[in-house]
Chains A and B, each alone.
Chain A
Amino acid sequence: MHVASRFPEQVGRVLQGIVGPHGLITDPGRILPYEADALTTRKGTPLAVVLPDSRDALIEVVRVLHSAGLPFVPRGAGTGLSGGSVARDAVVVTTTRLNRILDLDPEDRTALVEPGVITAAISAAAAPHGLRYLPDPASAAACTIAGNIAMNSGGPHCLKHGVTSDHVLGLEVVLPDGQTAWLGRGADGGLDLAGLFIGSEGTIGLISQARVALSPVAASTRALLGLFDGVGQAGAAVSEVFERGLVPVALELIDRATIEVVEASIFAAGLPTDTEAALVIECEGDPRDVEAELRIAADACLAHGAREVRIARDESERLAIWRARKKAYGALGRAAPDVFVQDAVVPRTELSRVLPEIQRIADVHRLRLANFFHAGDGNLHPNLLFDRRDTEQVARVERAGEEIMRLCVAAGGTITGEHGVGCDKVRYMPLLFGPPELTLMDALHEAFDPAGLANPGKMLPPRHGDVP
């Protein structure tokens, strides 16, 4: 086999000695699931997949790969949306077997976890103490904490509470040469080294342990649904909410195309399909405060022509309001073979201008577009529906994607708010950064990974003269 012949047998034997016979996958048939993450358009065949089951094994695996000069790609649950864990001629190091919560201290409100712990499992373990881990990426039930940390993941409720970086207190990292270090947030008078590591996409090492912050569960959580006859009106209402002094915990927008798909699916949530845009606004805290905040949010919607505002009266109504938003991605999966989701961010007030422009780009390229996203953060998720078997259509998706990126950057925004650069958005990095910034980031990367073994080809564009 071509693949097996490229993975040195000697290294395989050493790795098997560390992780056991079931901890190493070299069989091409069994490697297949590791070819891509949740972004189906980027693929690569790993040389091998290693699944260490202890911290020591993880460190030992990295040391072996480093001395063998083999590039490696860290991987959690493979739910990433930017091709961050795609491995071409590299060994995948999967953390899913390192899934223990090592310590949960309700008084200190911290948890020490292994990298492969499922994000939602931390909140589940903290729940009996009235605590939770706040960041809530859509894939929280499946994704791993180290994957979240590598990408600095967000989620709907990061609007008020902050993204992953705001909830990580310290990291034990395995540098590309196998050395370990505990990195804090600068409380020791040093640099915020954990802050640099968070969002570095596996390019400067792996995470072997993380200490995360836990926060109290809110006394009460309520949501409303605002229905609009125009996306522009909904966008204006988003800004109005903040201008009225409110920072909700979540503020999401769902457009008509999404509503139509959801309502035609088994996830139907009872939204009128002639609605051009719906806002989901959630507030939490003392029930009396939440009541007042919902009133402010409702008024902001009505001030911008909402045709209807539905305030959830109980928990089941709240969950129903969220159903359309949370099941949208799944419903889209039934409407088209493939979905390409973008992750650009624009200043909030640019939403009402940028959204029609994105629609125009999709129209020009004859693509179906569905929007559901974190409007409160200005974090867009335009979804382009396509069929990856149709190469001509894939080419149109790529062109539309690039035009959307250019539009958002020109509006003062950025290319990714929470999914990461991965291998998918590397080509857009020069839209954001000039040569001096790219050169400095290269130098920073090289200081950690002089041999270029850690997740090669991700996040940073190839250096001048490098083979792409």
Chain B
Amino acid sequence: MENVRSVGEVNLAAMDAQMEKFCLNCDFRDTPDCREAACLTGFARKVLKFAASRGILDIPGAAKLLPDQDFKPYYPEMIAAGLAETCRQCRECRDNHSPDCVISLVRRSLENMILTENIDYPGSVFAYLAAVKEKNPDLAAMLAKQLKSR
């Protein structure tokens, strides 16, 4: 596998570009029913915007605010592409992984679109792929394909 991590600063815009695709395909886009705080995509994009505007990578307590009532259908291929971008941006903090890390918040938003429970992030991309495979082999295959595609 290629080196899936980006070099240098975390590229928040690259993750947002993946999340924006969900908005472009959403029936609620530009309607009064678009409620970002209650939407997994909206939440992730707000996290990324907030982090970019403040120049931070951790938002204390934000993990507790993840929407849990967003049951919209999402395309697995787009989720895999989004997860692949979080893998590329992950700094692999391992034991020092923080659930309030903005990358983690985006990843959990994406997981919640398709998985019935979150993966306890092991702090490394390789171990994460193995964990995804256990929960959802099809998603893991798509994710691996996305990571290999660059």
- Do they bind each other? no
Q: Which residues of B contact A (CB under 8 A)?
A: none
Q: Which residues of A contact B (CB under 8 A)?
A: none
